[in-house]
């Protein structure tokens, strides 16, 4: 479990300014509800002073997303639009006495929603600065401009940190090389706002593809040496129980992002599952199935395929 501060818990269980804002004259929307993170920020701005008189939010996401959105509305109320634009995602995290590293992307989402709302008020078209051909992480639709901006603003130096702040690289991992190139570019250009160029080290890939683990039994204090032996072959019943155990160990991870999975049918090496909730239609669906498949193959000691239940008829027809 991640270590949440008392302030994060307070803003999650008792969110401030949640819900629609009836007389809002500025609205910013970021994220995708299909992948578990989306935020709508509404502002009431005084036309004469451009001061934010009120703010509210509607969030679809985890506890950190709700807490970050709640904190943001508290921070910006009473500020002018120009003052609000100076607020960084780190300011949001600091207001909450810190966020788990794996949840820093929630504060980045809040910062983007604020930029979008202010642009909406000023009649401007806000974009996420995506440039054609600059998409780095296809799993989470994160482009090079966003990664570079977040790296500079937060002093990031590793792929793992980039994943924590943007989600980029947390899926199939094929974009790690592209993230490394951006980190090297920022370092070569003088580093970040927090880390000067001489302190930049060559970024190391420390993030692995998404995997799901189950607790291992504690090792004996003084294990006796044993000769290597082939593991005993599982009976059909043992194999089914092992599959159920592994899937049950994975479900809490998916539920944290409002998703779920259930085993529908076991047909030899083909295991058909039904994804539910936010996992349905998500861009990470392929990576999720791949992670489950990898863990099952490891635990069963055999190569298996994890397929969506929608493919059951087609697979059986081809046999």
* Residues known to be catalytic: 35, 106
CB atoms within 10 A of CB 241: 12
Q: How far apart are CA 26 and CA 116, in angstroms?
A: 9
Q: HEC profile for 29-46?
A: EEEEHHHCEEEEEEEEEC
Greatest Cα pair distance, the chain, in angstroms, is 81
Query: DSSP characters for 48-87?
Result: TT-BEEEEEEEEES-HHHHHHHHHHHHHHTT-BHHHHTT-
Cα separation values, 283 from 35, 68, 116, 126, Å? 7, 24, 23, 23
DSSP character at residue 108 = H
The residues that bridge with 263 in the sheet, in sequence order, are: 273
Phi and psi (nearest 5°) for 71?
Answer: -60, -40
Q: How far apart are CA 208 and CA 93, in angstroms?
A: 25
The answer for residues whose C-beta is within 8 angstroms of residue 54's C-beta and 6 or more apart is: 17, 21, 23, 24, 43, 44, 77
Containing 136, the helix (H) or strand (E) segment is: strand 135-137
Q: How far apart are CA 218 and CA 233, in angstroms?
A: 23
Question: What residue has token string 């030899």?
Answer: 268
Q: How far apart are CA 310 and CA 95, in angstroms?
A: 46
């Amino acid at each position: 479990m991640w270590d949440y501060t008392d302030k994060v818990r307070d803003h999650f269980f008792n969110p401030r300014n949640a819900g629609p804002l009836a007389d809002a004259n500025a609205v910013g929307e970021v994220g995708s509800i299909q992948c578990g993170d989306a935020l709508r920020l509404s502002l009431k701005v005084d036309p004469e002073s451009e001061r934010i008189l009120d703010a509210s939010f509607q969030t679809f996401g985890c506890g950190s997303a709700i807490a970050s959105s709640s904190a943001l509305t508290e921070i910006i109320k009473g500020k002018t639009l120009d003052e609000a634009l100076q607020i960084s995602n780190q300011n949001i995290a600091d207001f909450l006495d810190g966020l788990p590293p794996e949840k820093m992307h929630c504060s980045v989402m809040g910062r983007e929603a604020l930029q979008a709302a202010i642009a909406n008020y000023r009649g401007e078209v806000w974009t996420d600065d995506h440039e054609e051909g600059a998409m780095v992480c296809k799993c989470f639709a994160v482009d090079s401009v966003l990664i570079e901006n977040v790296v500079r603003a937060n002093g990031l130096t590793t792929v793992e940190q980039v994943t924590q702040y943007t989600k980029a690289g947390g899926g199939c991992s094929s974009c790690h090389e592209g993230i490394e190139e951006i980190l090297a570019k920022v370092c070569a250009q003088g580093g970040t706002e927090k880390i000067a160029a001489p302190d930049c080290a060559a970024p190391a890939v420390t993030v692995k593809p998404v995997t799901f683990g189950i607790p291992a039994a504690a090792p004996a204090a003084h294990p006796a040496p044993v000769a290597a032996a082939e593991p005993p072959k599982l009976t059909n019943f043992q194999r089914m129980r092992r599959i159920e155990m592994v899937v049950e160990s994975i479900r809490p991870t998916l539920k944290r992002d409002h998703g779920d999975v259930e085993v529908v049918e076991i047909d030899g090496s083909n295991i058909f599952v039904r994804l539910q909730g936010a996992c349905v239609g998500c861009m990470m669906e392929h990576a999720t199935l791949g992670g489950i498949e990898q863990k099952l193959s490891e635990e069963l000691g055999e190569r298996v395929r994890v397929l969506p239940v929608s493919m059951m008829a087609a697979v059986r027809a081809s046999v």
